[in-house]
Structure 1
Amino acid sequence: GRGYPDIPTRRFLRYLVEQLHLPAYCLVDSDPYGFDILATYKFGSMQLAYDANLLR
């Protein structure tokens, strides 16, 4: 991915982790924005909360 993830990127990553059992690593900047990007990949975003169950 690049920056904040879009829905297809998160769905593809979920597929890789859950179906193929591949590990996922996230390299981000060590600042609040990097942590926010990491949290968006891991937990989703508030704007897309309605779609969170499909993406986790």
Structure 2
Amino acid sequence: RGKICGFMKSGGPSLLPKEIQILIRLAIVRAKETHIFLYQLVRDDHQRRKKEGII
């Protein structure tokens, strides 16, 4: 794990083969989308509870 971090810092993903670059980019995008999706779920649930007077 530490090796990968050091590698990324020293040279960046440009040293990696194209396929791996694309996979990493896709993984980052997917992680962001998942994070936004979870955030919206939690927020909607919170608003719904407020309406129902649970909070």
Q: Same fold (TM over 0.5)?
A: no
TM-score (norm 2): 0.29
TM-score (norm 1): 0.29
Larger radius of gyration: 2
